[in-house]
Structure 1
Amino acid sequence: MRRFGVVLFVLFATMGLVACGGEEPLPDNERLLAAFTEGQTGVWVSGHGTVVRPLGSDEANQRFLVRVNDALSLVVRHRVGNAGRVPADRDDVIAFQGRYEFHGGGGEVILTHADSGQPGGGGWIEFNGTRYD
């Protein structure tokens, strides 16, 4: 019986490692949610959420409506430039870093591109283990 328990432990531990895929954990939404609650604007944040739907985009910019939690959905705007398009679609989880701009409807995260003059080297979007900056 003890051997069976060891086999089960090894099996579940292996499944857990495979399921994790060795990916980095998602950034927490604490600073973003505080900025939203306090109505702050121009705050550098990182966070994550689920794409509700891609919004209209053009050759230079890509936008997503992202649900952070039940209280907050916002627009994440990405300048394509050298970073390329993020292939995220409805129900995909993305992580992001950029400047939060508050407005009553939730706000938006902009400047999701690399910029050495900004905190943390600028912004980015991560999707399926790839960083777009």
Structure 2
Amino acid sequence: MKKLLIIFLICLGAYALVSRYPDSFSLNSIKTLLPFSKTELSTSDRALKNAFENKINGFQVGGSGKVIIILPDDNQGSRHQRFILKLESSQTLLIAHNIDLAPKIENLKVDDHVNFYGRYEWNSKGGVIHWTHHDPNGQHEGGWLNHGGKMYQ
């Protein structure tokens, strides 16, 4: 009963607000309150798309995507966990996560969602995100990965 009363009060308040300020609540103005719709890209997807199209390198960026390929770890030199994300824009990114400096995502699977923050480097396949970890020397801005609510940095 309490839930029904709360829902009713929320609807009543919304109705009163829209009735009092009808010009402020067009469909277009409501869309601007949402982070992005299916037809619009997030800010990070737009930045990555621009960087890819213009071959821009070396900037920090955050975003998220769906795992489409899990590659074998690169064990030459510093070890890196590698996988490919597909962004909402359909651009792909190789994630190269240094597992000598940060924990590996052990239970990563295709179709998992991963949030990232790291350094973008251009390549012809969509780009690479690296520095998804802390910098033990304090010379570089640290990055991270988030998978299943757990931070890897």
Q: TM-score range by the shorter chain?
A: 0.7 to 0.9
RMSD: 2.6
Structure with higher Rg: it is: 2
Measure how far apart 1:107 and its partner are. 1.2
Please give the TM-score of this superposition, normalised by the length of structure 2.
0.64
State the identity as a percent: 29
Q: Higher relative CO (CA 8 A, sep ≥ 6), structure 1 or 2?
A: 1
Partner residue, 2:88: 69
> Which structure carries more strand by proportion?
1
Per-residue CA deviation, residues 72-113 of structure 1 (Å, 9 max, x unaligned), is 011001011242111321000001111111112111111111
Partner residue, 1:6: 4
> Higher mean Cα deviation, 44-53 or 28-37?
28-37
Partner residue, 2:62: 46
> 8 Å contact 1:27–1:95 — kept in the other structure?
no
Stretches of structure 1 lacking an aligned partner (at least 5 in a row): 11-25
Name the amino acid aligned to 1:100: Y
> 8 Å contact 1:96–1:126 — kept in the other structure?
yes
Change (3 A) 1:5 1:46: closer
> 8 Å contact 2:101–2:134 — kept in the other structure?
no
Name the amino acid aligned to 2:93: L
Are 2:120 and 1:100 equivalent residues in the alignment? Answer: yes
Give the Cα–Cα distance (whole angstroms) in 1 for the partners of residues 69 and 62 of structure 2: 20
> 8 Å contact 2:44–2:61 — kept in the other structure?
no
Please give the TM-score of this superposition, normalised by the length of structure 1.
0.72
Within the candidate set 20, 33, 50, 2:49 is matched to 33
